[in-house]
Homo-oligomer: A and B are copies of this chain.
């Protein structure tokens, strides 16, 4: 293997730079050339890339986002688009490709693998919805960002009859909302996986205040509704002043946590080692504190199962 490519695709997250840096330095250490494609698969299609050197990846470890940028490409979803990508990779002499991204990106990786391109996928998705890895890249930083904001909100004066609805990311996954609720002692988490009974929630809210507890935090996954709608519902039902925070892309950015820097570094390192060993068509995952590869074709047909222990704990802790 003489030259490998790296790209970040889909929603960006903190820790991607650590993975890029580590993969680059590992490959260069083995005497392998590295090029980085800009804006994901789009860069492959457009031939938009840069030569990666030690200097190029200096000073990025503690930066959020991805310095290679990310984007979605409609063309790459088509058969001709993918054929063009494969052709470009061959013309550039790229013998292997590391793809950092979420489930859409990993599907793309599998497609390239099936067309003969040696690929390794690195799971990156703040929703933590990718199977065969305990944690995806970016989850820990996103959660730390969220709890920082929720802690601030809990600080503000407890007044009577007031509730706060905080909308976090998660279209199909309540992972961020649930974990943030446990980690901040929030009173409710509304998630896409479980139907929320607003009437019941309002009753609990009213009872809380009658017992003299002066504020309530509700953490809402974006896939389970809009924060403003939930707030309006509460106000209509029981007359409480309800304030809204929508964290949005604040969650994605920021200096990566130590967990995401180490995880990204390990993913990048192992991805290159696997490529060089010819172990391709796989995704690296964190399992038992060890980095374990799984076949991409297994990953894309599987669903991450929720941790029942955590759900049970939530109930006991009254979240």
Chain A residues within 8 Å of B, Cβ to Cβ: 8, 11-12, 14, 18, 21-22, 25-26, 29, 39, 58, 61-66, 69-72, 134, 140, 143-149, 151-160, 164, 166, 179-180, 182-185, 214, 227-228, 243-255, 257-259, 261-262, 265-266, 269, 287-291, 307, 309-310, 313, 316-318
Contact = CB atoms under 8 A, between A and B. Distances in A.
Contacts of A291: 309
Given A144-B258, A159-B70, A246-B246, A154 B317 contact: no
A155 B65 contact: yes
27 contacts: A12-B156, A18-B183, A22-B313, A39-B160, A61-B183, A62-B154, A65-B156, A65-B158, A70-B157, A134-B289, A140-B258, A144-B258, A152-B250, A153-B248, A154-B253, A155-B253, A180-B258, A182-B265, A183-B265, A243-B248, A244-B248, A245-B247, A257-B257, A259-B259, A266-B313, A269-B316, A288-B288
A248 B66 CA distance: 28
B8 A157 contact: yes
A249 B71 CA distance: 32
Given A258-B147, A258-B183, A71 B288 contact: no
Contacts of A166: 248
A39 to B, nearest CB: 7
